[in-house]
Amino acid sequence: MNTLAAPVGQPLARVDGPLKVTGQARYAAEFDTPGLLHGVVVCSSIARGQVLRIDTREAEALDGVVLVLTHENRPPVASYDKPYQDDDAADGSPFRPLFNDRVLYNGQPLALVVAETRELARHAASQVRIEYRQEPHQTDLLAVSEQAHEAPEPPPEPRGDFAGAFAVAPVRVECEYQTPVEHHNPMETHASTVFYQPDGELLVHDKTQGVQNCQRYLEKVFGMQGRIRVLAPFVGGAFGSGLRPQYQLPLAVMAALKLHRSVRVELTRQQMFTFGYRPRTLQRLSLGADRDGRLQALAHQAIGQTSSFEDFTEHEVDWSGMLYACDNVQLGYRLASLDVYTPLDMRAPGAAIGVFALECAMDELAYAAGVDPLELRLRNYSELNGNQGKRYSSKELRACYSQGAERFGWSRRPAAPRSLRDGDQLIGMGMATGVWEALQMPASARACIDADGRLQVSSATADIGTGTYTAMTQIAAAALGLPMERVDFRLGDSSLPQAPLEGGSATVSSVGSAVHQACLALRQKLLDAAQQSPASPFTGAGIDDVAFSNGSMRLKRPPYSAVELERIVEVSGALDAEVRVEPGEQRKNWATGTHSAVFVEVRVDEALGTVKVSRVVSAVAAGRVVNPKTAGNQIVGGVVWGIGQALHEETLIDHRLGRYMNHNLAEYHLPVNADIPEIDVIFVEEHDSVVNDLGSKGVGEIGIVGVAAAVANAIYHATGKRVRELPITLDKLL
């Protein structure tokens, strides 16, 4: 039974677009209430040690300052003796703001100044004096890499005999790669506005990718089960920074509970560098192949940084065991503990950096074997996920290679580096493969149709700028045969039906499946209601005997009767259905994934070493694409970030101070319009009946995966110089 038709698959504009461009969309720091107080965080200036004294007298003497909150006067916190881990927590003991006098990293929140205005709070915060006893610290991954320990989530077990196969392989490459710390830097800074209610309950507006995660976290931390509601109707970008509750949230709640007042805490741009980030890594690849370039042995070892109090684990090396056919594979992943905050998932966590190293190493192997880089990947193509030993439910990666190469003009690429030139510009072409998981999480949704024939659909998911509002509206409209303008989708409210964190490119597959099923359940209720009259032409009809279109339900067989949905509801009253959908049993027998092929052209100034990306083609196989317009925007955004990862982004730390030095948008380099060419996105046709009812796979992460490698490989083709440390800046090329 085909229950999804137009508008699914149509490149429709965002339903929330008018609210955003007219300024009517409100974000966490834009909700007000009479008497709202403002909190500003005071952060540590040392990387490790003990707070001896916090002098708050000057700040408290200022007229309009209501409170200076420290570890000495904070209200009791239920979970501080037994730390509560949120849905996205790493192994270990999660950070607890204002817990005690210990300083664990530079930038740690040590006080919260609460005042009548934000300007006054910022000024008062500058008057807080803190005395420390400093202790030796370490923030350099290279200095402690030998002391790295095994990660709590180890990679897949070795298969075959890597050492033996590598020793006899006629073509071998061994390479080391480094990736730096990167920070998320969404446009909307993190903020929490806590409305203290007369009955002591809390209404919280938070910048988050999971309102129910924040709700559970606050209820556990403060022992307030059933007394907190969290809202996040709009989120101004997150990229993973909103998966965990950030420290401004518990601080705002502490102040609200202590003062019995409403409080807002908004982080500054500099303070956006005082929590999670993409971790710095060291990676070593060893590839052995026969003379035709077919892999005989593969080893991928990685060391990532983590904090002293949590072990943050990413899947950095797993991709090397699943992407290509190889019988002898050895993967290793260790963590180095530093006096820094815990890293955090960032767009395509693990894959963005792990696939960078793998795909650069594959390019090096191609040159060593004398095989075209695209041909090398085709020779090592596999229909199996090697880690799982399972066949993919669908994998149109070959089509990505062929369609992307044709659109890009890969066949016109000369094999030898430094073969193409335009005046002083060296021209290079590079490519890489991308891969991501096709995830689905348990999710619930509710669908209700009223007497006006309007469909209300809801789930406690988020829209972090990805187009969730629009995609869910399309799915619901298609399932009930309604025009888009008669469907309203609600999200970002912890009181709505359960939804997972919006992350991992799983929202359409998870929440979209729940929305679809809720609407199917509502279809059945509409049919049941229409059959209540003895004279109804629908008597005896089953759900497969009717079709929903143009706001009506009609029989597919004679007498082909039709009735408008609002007419049914006028008689029966409002109808609703709520369902919970979990990943299907059929998924267990298959590997699932999203794949892509990225082709990049660069121009390198031979004298100056400057790099300009001049063309990009990204061909993506992501199952059924609900909205090619918003999905295409996601791929474009991922490619832009991949270019930034390759050429621009790096958070620089002064290891003497343990402090990030470029913690602003002036010195933290991001690509701008002038850095980005036209980006050509191809969605390869791919059908998958296993992943979920929609046949949909996520696109939020896949857009960035492989892009940095394709840029690096293109730079090598242009210059003949291999740079294995990101970002590739002109000093490294010169």
Contact assessment for residue 438 and residue 593, using Cβ atoms and an 8 Å cutoff: yes
Q: Whole-angstrom Cα distance, residue 506 to residue 702?
A: 12
Smallest Cα–Cα separation from 402: which of 592, 595, 590? 595
Contact assessment for residue 142 and residue 282, using Cβ atoms and an 8 Å cutoff: yes
Task: Give 309's contacts (C-beta < 8 A, 6+ positions apart).
Answer: 92, 93, 94, 95, 104, 342
Q: Which residues of 356-388 are buried (b: 16+ CB within 10 A; e: fewer)?
A: bbbbbbbbbbbbebebbbbebbebbebeebbbe
Q: Which two tokens stand for residue 159?
A: 């298969």
Q: Which two tokens stand for residue 580?
A: 């919970």
Radius of gyration, CA atoms only, the chain: 27
Q: Whole-angstrom Cα distance, residue 17 to residue 473?
A: 13
Q: Whole-angstrom Cα distance, residue 17 to residue 15?
A: 6
* pLDDT for the residue 619: 98
CA distances 564 to 57, 178, 453, 475, 636, Å, are 70, 62, 8, 20, 41
Element (H, E) at 635: helix 628-647
| Crossing angle of helices 513-530 and 468-480, rounded to 10° | 30
Of 585, 606, 701, 725, which one is the catalytic site residue?
701
Using alpha carbons only, what angle is made at residue 555 by residues 553 and 558, rounded to the nearest 5 degrees? 155
Smallest Cα–Cα separation from 212: which of 194, 232, 193, 241? 232
| Crossing angle of helices 628-647 and 351-369, rounded to 10° | 70
Using alpha carbons only, what angle is made at residue 604 by residues 600 and 607, rounded to the nearest 5 degrees? 175
Q: Whole-angstrom Cα distance, residue 578 to residue 589?
A: 29
Q: Which two tokens stand for residue 378?
A: 């085709």
Examine the residue annotation and report whether 701 is marked as an active-site residue of this protein.
yes
Q: Whole-angstrom Cα distance, residue 235 to residue 501?
A: 13
The DSSP annotation for 538-600 comes to TTT--GGGEEEETTEEEESSTT--EEEHHHHHHHH--EEEEEEE---GGGGGSB-EEEEEEEE
CA distances 252 to 55, 65, 105, 260, 525, Å, are 21, 15, 21, 11, 45
Smallest Cα–Cα separation from 139: which of 46, 234, 218, 20? 46
Task: Give 101's contacts (C-beta < 8 A, 6+ positions apart).
Answer: 50, 51, 52, 71
Q: Which two tokens stand for residue 91?
A: 């192994």
Contact assessment for residue 204 and residue 231, using Cβ atoms and an 8 Å cutoff: yes
* pLDDT for the residue 3: 63
Smallest Cα–Cα separation from 376: which of 394, 363, 389? 363
Number of Cβ atoms within 10 Å of the Cβ of 80:
16
Smallest Cα–Cα separation from 160: which of 387, 357, 383? 387
Helix (H, G, I), strand (E, B) or coil at 400: helix
Contact assessment for residue 506 and residue 500, using Cβ atoms and an 8 Å cutoff: yes
Q: Whole-angstrom Cα distance, residue 341 to residue 276?
A: 7
Helix (H, G, I), strand (E, B) or coil at 504: coil
pLDDT by 10-residue block (mean), the chain, 734 residues: 72 96 97 98 98 98 98 91 83 94 98 98 98 98 97 96 98 98 97 97 98 97 97 97 97 98 98 98 98 98 98 97 98 98 98 98 98 98 97 98 98 98 97 98 97 95 97 97 97 98 96 98 97 90 95 94 95 96 96 98 96 98 97 98 98 98 97 96 97 95 98 98 98 94
Q: Whole-angstrom Cα distance, residue 529 to residue 531?
A: 5
Contact assessment for residue 44 and residue 107, using Cβ atoms and an 8 Å cutoff: yes
Q: Whole-angstrom Cα distance, residue 331 to residue 283?
A: 11
Smallest Cα–Cα separation from 435: which of 104, 699, 222? 699
pTM of the model: 0.97
* pLDDT for the residue 165: 98
